[in-house]
Structure 1
Amino acid sequence: MKTVLSGIRATGTSHLGNYIGAIARFARMSQDPRYRCLFFVADFHTLTTLKEAEQIKKHLPNMVLDYLAAGVDLSHSAIYVQSDVPQVTELAWLLSCLTPVTHLEGLPTYKDKREKHPEDINAGLFNYPVLMAADILGPRADLVPVGSDQKPHIELTQSLARRFNNLYGHYFPVPGVLPDMVLVPGLSPMDERGGFAKMGKSDGNTINLGDTPEQTWDKIRVAPTDPQRVHRTDPGNPDHCCIFALHQYVSTPEQLAWSREGCMSAGIGCMDCKRVLADNINHMLAEFRERRMQLAQKPDVIRDVLVEGKRQAEVLFNETIEHVRERMGIRRWGS
């Protein structure tokens, strides 16, 4: 059985992109007997960009509800909070002593942030990839499902695993990447590169999992479409429209063909296309929303899940820490 690990930051309300790209996929994997799945809420990572303590406290239990409502099978999975397992920060320090600063400076996420918002760079953001490596190597994960934007960080983790193994003897498996993590487009116009920004909390282009069907429709109704379609009778290019881009994740092949042909021929209006999209999204999320509403009435469920998740995670991290300390010569002299 392979160990799969994934985390999600508690930075806000989960949205459709999180659900399609991560949460629903993780739930399916947790039901697969080939995998032991570890899911954690990355509250330490959240601190690199979100400083409002009350917001973190508010969002964290909601993240857990999302996993549970999506159907995560806890018979061979665990959900825990990153900060409940302090061994991860100890391991991050030990790994940081093996990490060249130039490797961190060369990571695309850091370079982009430094160029665009140099005043917002903090040491936590700079060291973020090392803590991420500790998250992965602590439970000795075999597989990590990530999007393309996170692949450089996984490559750093792989490099650190190899470096440790070369210096101190083989211990860490070199984690693999589960391919095809989906980056779902948001309700945004096409950018200058001919693509669509991924759905993200900071961009204000999301359909939130907690939105009602009416709220979902309200957001889709006012979303931008192909600028060529000024009037109902104007033909358009569906590849220039975020509505069609979203259809590809929630609609049938027949509906996709209907949308494409109708847009190019002006046989349908944008509102017709938007209505079908809204109906499909609401249908996809109906069962999830119902389960989530029921779970929200049982706060003890969240606590019990996290207590058990912490217990399981600490067993794995403690074993790793003892091996790593011994090999690196950092013994517990006072015990």
Structure 2
Amino acid sequence: MKNMLTGIRSTGNPHLGNILSVIIPSINMITNKKYSSFIFIADLHSIIQTENIQYIKNSTYNIVATWLAFGLNTENSILYRQSDVTEVTELAWYLSCFFPYKRLTLVHSFKKEENKSKINVGLFTYPILMAADILLYNAEIIPVGKDQLQHIEIARRIAYFFNKKIGKKVFSLPNPFLQEKSMFITGTDGSKMSKSKNNYIDIFSSDEILKKQIMNIKTDSKSLEEKKNPDPNKDYIMYLYKLVAPKNKVENMKKKYVKGGYGYSEAKMALYEEIIHKFSTERNKFFSIIKNKSLLDKILFSGAKKAKSIAINRMNYIRKCLNFKPLFSLKKMS
């Protein structure tokens, strides 16, 4: 089987966009047993822009609890914390020596920053670390959104340059796995759902906070009596409702929009109630699991042990290709 890899940064709970575009599709792929799966909590990536280390630790627990709440089976997948497998940082250094500086200056995350003097080296080079995450396990299938395609292309280029320089196929070339829902999940303001933009919906927040997030969805100024545009591409409430509600409920809301006499507040309440209903099982599981930190630590330790065993073997092979001696054998781990 081919290896599949995906990761989520430990910056709070995974939001609705993460769940619909990454977590649910990945679990479905794992359940169908099409791929060997590696799922990591990207805490090394998180410290690039987060100074609160305790926040990162708590977020790591939240992400693990989310995966478990949605039914991830850790027996047939490897769930681990990125920082527990330090071989990835060693590989990132090797890869950085095989990639041109100028190409990194073209990365979207770097180019969009207006004040370059405030950018730390981690933010500039994190596409290299991302490539190391992928290439360390020879992952060939990477579930991503459209905005992450550039990073997969960078990983492919680095793998190609490395293989060419060494003269053998050390790394497989990764491929993005795009699904319709992963292309673009709209936030409450109409742009891509993101914690940094504060336009996200957190299904694991309290009922009060969840309702407040949904009530903040941007709308036009049409009155209660006026007809509304039911096109999901024009109305953000309808767009999100279509993602979570069954087809008959979506059609019913569209009829109310066209008829008039149906306000945006009512539509937002319908969305809120649908999210509460649709994810009731997952919410209950999450709130139960998150209380058991010892269980979460046990799962992370088990996943790290599996991932590290594979990483050590891979790094010893890569070190050999670079004429470096292996650090230690797997026998010394016991």
Question: Normalization by structure 1: what TM-score?
Answer: 0.91
SS at match of 2:98: coil
Q: How does 1:1-335 map to 2 (within 5 A)?
A: 1-113=1-113, 115=114, 117-168=115-166, 169-180=168-179, 181-188=182-189, 196-227=190-221, 229=222, 231-238=223-230, 239-332=233-326
Query: 1:191 — aligned with what?
Result: none
Structure 1 position 56, deviation (Å): 1.3
Q: 1:217 to 1:162 in 2, by over 3 A?
A: same
In structure 1, the residue corresponding to 2:294 is in which secondary structure? helix
Instruction: Specify the SS of the correspondent of 2:193.
Output: coil
The 3-state SS of whatever aligns with 1:208 is: coil
Question: Matched residues in 2 for 1:333 and 1:287: separation?
Answer: 46
Contact 2:10–2:59, Cα closer than 8 Å, also in 1: yes
User: Kindly tell me: are residues 214 and 54 of structure 1, through their superposed partners in 2, closer, same or farther at Cα, counting changes over 3 Å?
Assistant: closer
Deviation at 1:112, TM superposition (A): 1.0
Indicate the percent of aligned positions where both proteins have the same amino acid.
31
In 2, the alpha carbon distance for the partners of 1:296 and 1:12 equals 13
CA distance in 1, matches of 2:216, 2:138: 46
Q: Is the 8 A contact 1:325 1:331 kept in 2?
A: yes
**In the alignment, residue 125 of structure 1 is paired with which amino acid?**
L
Instruction: Indicate how the Cα distance of structure 1 residues 140 and 222 shifts in structure 2: closer, same or farther if over 3 A, else same.
Output: closer
Query: How many residues are aligned here?
Result: 324
Is the Cα contact below 8 Å between 1:28 and 1:72 reproduced in 2?
A: no
User: What is the rounded CA distance, in whole Å, between the counterparts of 1:11 and 1:5 in structure 2?
Assistant: 19
> CA separation in 2, counterparts of 1:125 and 1:62?
24
Counterpart Cα distance in 2 of 1:120 and 1:251: 43
* TM-score under structure 2 length normalisation: 0.91
Q: Is the 8 A contact 2:99 2:161 kept in 1?
A: no
> For the Cα contact (< 8 Å) 1:226–1:237, is it kept in 2?
no
Q: Superposition RMSD on alpha carbons, in Å?
A: 1.9
Q: Which runs of 5+ in 1 are unaligned?
A: 189-195
Question: Partner amino acid for 2:88?
Answer: V
Contact 2:45–2:126 (CA<8 Å) still a contact in 1? yes
Partner SS state of residue 279, structure 2: helix
Structure 1 distance, partners of 2:3, 2:216, is 43
